[in-house]
Amino acid sequence: MERLGIINLGVGNLSNVQQVSGGTIIDRPSDVSAFDRLILPGVGSFTSAMPALTAYRGALLQAAQNGVPLLGICLGFQLFFEKSAEGIGEGLGLCSGKAVAFPPGLSPHIGWNEVEWVQSIPLIEAIPNHSFFFFVHGFYVVPTGDSIILSTTTHQNRDASISFCSAIVENNLIGVQFHPEKSSSFGIRFLDQFRRWIP
């Protein structure tokens, strides 16, 4: 049976992710290789994740290179990229691009919002287009190229509007800006499909 590991960067509510996904929390980088698929969650700032990310960097890069399915959630998703305007430190560089801040009038983005799928992959076939997921973030990713974008979301208020990349897929990597573990039935379905996903 495949084993799902949840990386503990010390910057997220791991209990929710564990409860919904059924995975095992990984507290030591040396244990990463024992798992067949991985989740990199996170809530907090890019800079606050750097100490733990430094410790896990080698193990995560090796897992990604070996084709292990890897899901990044929120901050964990942003850490897939090269850097963030949120703070110092380098991301994993698994994807080309960076995280940038929402304009002041649109930050932060908190609450339920629609996700528009722009690609079709088996992992999302059971989730209707324009389904609602829960978001809480002040930064969003800007991939260097559009080919990896899996979904977009429009964040707007009375005065402003912006469409941003809310999910990517690239080979064995899938990253989402929303929180599937807080997104009710569609979030549960998403994580369940990730456990079955074959890149």
Question: What are residue 146's phi and psi, to 5 degrees?
Answer: -80, -10
**Residue 181 bears catalytic tag:** yes
Kindly name the residue from 137, 165, 170, 181 that is annotated as catalytic: 181
C-alpha–C-alpha distance, residues 106 and 155, integer Å? 7
Kindly name the residue from 74, 95, 137, 170 that is annotated as catalytic: 74
The reported pLDDT for the residue numbered 42 is: 86
pTM: 0.96
**Residue 74 bears catalytic tag:** yes
- What are the C-alpha distances in Å from 138 to residues 40, 72, 75, 76, 79? 19, 17, 10, 14, 14
Domain annotation for the chain: domains and CATH numbers: 4-194 (3.40.50.880)
**Residue 90 bears catalytic tag:** no
- Tokens 């800079």, residue located: 47
The reported pLDDT for the residue numbered 2 is: 67
- Tokens 């989730």, residue located: 127
* Residue 78, C-beta contacts closer than 8 angstroms, at least 6 positions apart: 42, 46, 72, 84, 86, 91, 99, 139, 141, 177
Q: What parts of the chain have a pLDDT lower than 50?
A: 1
The DSSP code for 179 is: B
Question: What are residue 57's phi and psi, to 5 degrees?
Answer: -50, -55
The reported pLDDT for the residue numbered 43 is: 86
